[in-house]
Amino acid sequence: MATFFTKLGVPVHATQSRFLSWEDFRTHNLILLGHDEANRWLDPILSKLPIRLAVTEGDHPRRIVNMNPEKGQASEYRLSYTASKDQPSQDYGLVSMIGGTDGRHQLLLINGLNTEGTEAAMEYLTDPASLQNVFSSLRRTAPKHTGRWQFQLVLRTEVRDKVPTRADLIVVKVL
């Protein structure tokens, strides 16, 4: 991600989420990576959005929850495992582009169920052809939209030997 932004001439400062404060959210554009079990900022932000992350609860492993699924969309997206159950064969990523707390800054949340899902989503967003697909999908979903895009995406990726191989855009929600 840093290389991508550097090529665009956008300065990047990386820090661990534990060092962030609400003041940072008011004064900076931020990109938050990872799952809500590792990043305490995600749940308060995602709790107001139609697609959220859910932590492991009893028999329910971590998952992406679609609070208002449209026709053809699932209400939950979970890891799929190989026959041996030790490595996921399919992971999911959630991308949320939303306005910051002050209305002038933006938040980009890139969150996989596992590391592979986060990695696949980051790669998808930095690939020019994939990014073009995102914008085409957004325009198809909301053809009369004006202004900054705020949206959520769900991506599915196949995983081989703990490496994401390809991501597919499966849900587009314009906020």
Write down the pLDDT at residue 110.
94
The alpha helices in the chain, defined as continuous H runs, are 2-7, 22-27, 42-46, 115-126, 128-141
Q: Which pair of structure tokens corresponds to residue 104?
A: 């002038």
Instruction: State the burial class of residue 72 (Cβ atoms within 10 Å of its Cβ: 0-12, 13-18, 19+).
Output: exposed
pLDDT tens for the chain, 175 residues: list them: 666 666 667 666 777 888 888 888 888 888 999 888 888 889 999 999 999 999 888 888 889 999 999 999 999 999 888 776 677 889 999 999 998 888 888 899 999 999 999 999 999 999 999 999 999 999 999 999 998 899 999 999 999 888 899 899 999 999 9
